[in-house]
Structure 1
Amino acid sequence: MGCNAIQNTLYPLDNDEFVIAFGSCNRQDQENHLWDDVVANKPSVWIWGGDNIYSDTDDLREMRKDYEEQRYQNGYKEVRKSMDIIGTWDDHDYGLNDGGREWAFKDQAQELFLNFLEVPKHDPRWNQKGVYDAKTYHTPQGDVKIIVLDTRYFRSPLTKNLGDDGKRFMPNPYGEGTILGEVQWAWLENELNTSQASFNIIVSSIQFLSNKHGFETWGNFPSEVEKLVDLIKSSKAERVIILSGDRHISEFSQINISDLDYPLIDFTSSGLTHTYEAFSGEQNPYRVGEVVKEKSFGLLRLNLKNYRATLQMIGDGNKVLNELEQAY
């Protein structure tokens, strides 16, 4: 189905549920054993959460070849046939590890990314800077809106950590730097302010809540975190859930926010073909439950009748590795 699905298509529900699958950190040169499990759950949409291929290069022919290798893998071909596909990128498919706005080849990389997603030529992303996008899925019982952010194209430089604690970055001084850039922030504000959807899913390639690990996170830009929280509150958008990747581990994080009558969840799902198998723990003040370091993808079952969300980490053999339920 790809990105050619018509915006006003009416998507059927399964037991009143709209099903979304997503994942990140996928090496095109390694076999992904999860695609059959993705298809078995019959999601309406697959979301690429970033690092969809590993192609840290300024050789665009090499990056194109890496995308083609992924596109025609047997398991992924079944995904392409059976569900809508949307997504964002992270650093390894952007072309530069930990890269931001300084990457000289970002426009060329964007063209290859849009080709990989089979984005129609009339789509605004072909004429905009950055790969951010929003799509509303209509169902018989209400809408689900998926807002896909670009945390690479506009992102300001990170502050390197000079200490010996193993952390790569430290937070910028409050108010310095941006993740989304002025134009994307204005776009996001409009998307949330005008949303009539029953659920609003925000996709960020990097974690939003977990902020103590010293790698890439929204927490490296404290004022940007505050700005998004304030926007979620002021927009009155219903039932916002954040999806993230990047970390080679999967975890649930959540925070209670004043003036928001539900906890804000950040569901991190990473990775699809390789994980941080030696993970032995790290501080995350917002974590709920245990970290999963097995290969997995994320599954969201959004009940549009009773307004419940079931969030699952699914491993090989369709095994549920972790689960979180939230009533709204």
Structure 2
Amino acid sequence: MRFASLLFLLLWILPAAAQQKALIAGPMAGSVELRDVIIWLEAGSAVKQAAIRYYEKGKPAAARTERFTGELGKRYNPVKIQLVNLEPGTAYEYEVLLDGKAVKRSAFTTKTLWQYRQPAPDFSFLTGSCAYFNEPAYDRPGKPYGNDSSIFETMAAVPADFMMWLGDNWYTRDADFHSVPGLQYRAHRDRSLPVLQRFLQAMPHYAVWDDHDYGPNNANKSYIFRDQSREVFSQYWPNPSFGEEGKGIYTRYSFSDVDFFLLDGRYWSSAGELPDSINGQPNPTKKMYGDQQMEWLKNALLTSNASFKIIVTGSQALNPISIFDSFHHFPVEYHDFMNFLDQNHIPGILFLTGDRHHSEVIKLPRENNYPLYDITSSPLTSGVGGVLLGNEKNNPYRVPGTLVVTQNFARISVSGPKGGRWLKLEFMDKGKQVLGNFEVNQQELMK
């Protein structure tokens, strides 16, 4: 009798384990819109078919199935399936089907169709940068650079409408960035870690990149695998789009009455080592974003009616005394953009950035115009930077009470009546303790 019971358990457990192994990572929602959504997952190399069965919450009898039509059976198999003809403001449940078997269940809610019907919905989102996951075989010898990754379990439990990743979302090593298979391996390995899975399913995700998930440290447009790196990035994130004409990863995302302009600070970037100026004049050859992307950004900002217009980019933008990668070290583009903002009187602009291994809010005053704010959120798990040892320890441009020098993430909420919306920021640690905060009203960001 005992043998029969054991045999039954093995016959039940082993197929279930095999099914779970077929799902390497995910599922994760992204590009959640009014009537469609992209579901991302990574399937095992033995999987032959992938599909999503979905239905309005509580109505499984009306389920529909969308099948993946791309190629499977490769070494790494990231999958994106778009579900269409959905209803706005509706909760949906779905199942991941691999070779016809349900291996994971999850849910999402489409955006609310509020325009011309009701006030803009209040909402919140999480954000952060610099996620280093230790792998001793390929890490540098000595003290591990990555810290406790349980912060992602904390983030999974914090209510939010989506997550905005600010770059260095994984860290390529010397063993990775010299080849395309190495780039693929790093994205695959880090995305598949168990500590991430609950967070990936908890909310939709969007991302920009910085140097370490683009290529080597301080990588720029000279990186020989920049197009292949772009392909890997686009395979592992469900953003709405990735640049134009097959170049770059910039895109635009909107939620409620806020527009997010996700920039690419690597694909077209000149080497940071180039001098900012030559013979006292801005160096005309040193650019961070490139003409194509800057033209897109300017036109996109001009057509935005959002209460807040958040420019999302991997490196800091406005810190005047930073010696590290920052938009202001590319003065031709930087001053041209600042002049553009002054001439066109565009309200509601803020920057959201990463990279620095500490968090802070930088306030940049402008003559005859509202100040610009640069919210920097970092690090999620990587080593902490040396801001307290350098020239930025008492940065006069830093908003008091916002410096955080430990692992943290940011929770940003937008609420309030039309014309008087508030953006509120909290930097939080893995214990949900608030380490710094900041808030700004829509009216403060008008000339």
User: Is TM > 0.5 for Structure 1 vs Structure 2?
Assistant: yes
In the other structure, the counterpart of 1:311 is: 425
Q: Give the TM-score of the pair, scaled to structure 2.
A: 0.64
Among residues 410, 418, 426, which one is paired with 1:298 in the alignment?
A: 410
In structure 2, C-alpha distance between the alignment counterparts of 1:12 and 1:178, rounded to whole Å: 39
Query: Contact 1:26 / 1:53 at 8 angstroms: preserved in 2?
Result: yes
2:169 counterpart of 1:52:
yes
2:132 counterpart of 1:27:
yes
Query: Contact 1:192 / 1:235 at 8 angstroms: preserved in 2?
Result: no
Among residues 258, 261, 265, which one is paired with 1:147 in the alignment?
A: 261
CA-based RMSD of the aligned residues comes to 2.4
**Count of aligned positions:** 311
| 1:180 alignment partner AA | Y
Query: Contact 2:362 / 2:397 at 8 angstroms: preserved in 1?
Result: yes
In the other structure, the counterpart of 2:57 is: none
Instruction: Call closer, same or farther: CA 1:300–1:11 in 2, change over 3 Å.
Output: farther
Query: Contact 1:11 / 1:44 at 8 angstroms: preserved in 2?
Result: no
Any idea what the Cα deviations from partners look like across 1:83-131, whole Å, max 9, x if unmatched?
22111111111112111111110000011111111357xx454852111
| 1:110 alignment partner AA | R
Pairwise mapping of residues 215-294 of structure 1 onto structure 2 (< 5 A)? 215-261=324-370, 263-276=371-384, 278-281=386-389, 282-283=391-392, 284-290=395-401, 291-294=403-406
Instruction: Call closer, same or farther: CA 1:150–1:172 in 2, change over 3 Å.
Output: farther
| 1:286 alignment partner AA | Y
State the percentage of identical aligned residues. 27
Query: Contact 1:28 / 1:69 at 8 angstroms: preserved in 2?
Result: no
In the other structure, the counterpart of 1:5 is: 32
| 1:42 alignment partner AA | P
| 2:407 alignment partner AA | K
In structure 1, C-alpha distance between the alignment counterparts of 2:31 and 2:172, rounded to whole Å: 26
Please state whether the residue corresponding to 1:229 is helix, strand or coil: helix
In the other structure, the counterpart of 1:201 is: 310
Query: Contact 1:249 / 1:275 at 8 angstroms: preserved in 2?
Result: no
Larger CA Rg, structure 1 vs 2: 2
In the other structure, the counterpart of 1:134 is: 252
* Structure 1 position 236, deviation (Å): 4.2
* Structure 1 position 22, deviation (Å): 1.0
| 2:127 alignment partner AA | F
Query: Contact 1:50 / 1:246 at 8 angstroms: preserved in 2?
Result: yes
| 2:226 alignment partner AA | K
Structure 1: runs of 5 or more not aligned: 161-169
Among residues 276, 283, 287, which one is paired with 1:178 in the alignment?
A: 287
* Structure 1 position 278, deviation (Å): 4.8
In the other structure, the counterpart of 1:166 is: none
Instruction: Call closer, same or farther: CA 1:286–1:224 in 2, change over 3 Å.
Output: farther
Please state whether the residue corresponding to 1:256 is helix, strand or coil: strand
Please state whether the residue corresponding to 2:30 is helix, strand or coil: helix
* Structure 1 position 69, deviation (Å): 2.2
In structure 2, C-alpha distance between the alignment counterparts of 1:61 and 1:126, rounded to whole Å: 25
Query: Contact 1:310 / 1:325 at 8 angstroms: preserved in 2?
Result: yes
Instruction: Call closer, same or farther: CA 1:187–1:304 in 2, change over 3 Å.
Output: farther
Instruction: Call closer, same or farther: CA 1:210–1:69 in 2, change over 3 Å.
Output: same
Instruction: Call closer, same or farther: CA 1:92–1:4 in 2, change over 3 Å.
Output: same
Any idea what the Cα deviations from partners look like across 1:57-92, whole Å, max 9, x if unmatched?
122222212212222233422232232211111111
In structure 2, C-alpha distance between the alignment counterparts of 1:149 and 1:23, rounded to whole Å: 15
In structure 2, C-alpha distance between the alignment counterparts of 1:259 and 1:78, rounded to whole Å: 47
In the other structure, the counterpart of 1:72 is: 192
In the other structure, the counterpart of 1:164 is: none
In structure 2, C-alpha distance between the alignment counterparts of 1:79 and 1:125, rounded to whole Å: 26
Select between 20-29 and 303-312 the one with higher mean Cα deviation: 303-312
Q: Give the TM-score of the pair, scaled to structure 1.
A: 0.86
In the other structure, the counterpart of 1:320 is: 434
In structure 2, C-alpha distance between the alignment counterparts of 1:204 and 1:70, rounded to whole Å: 22
Instruction: Call closer, same or farther: CA 1:172–1:45 in 2, change over 3 Å.
Output: farther
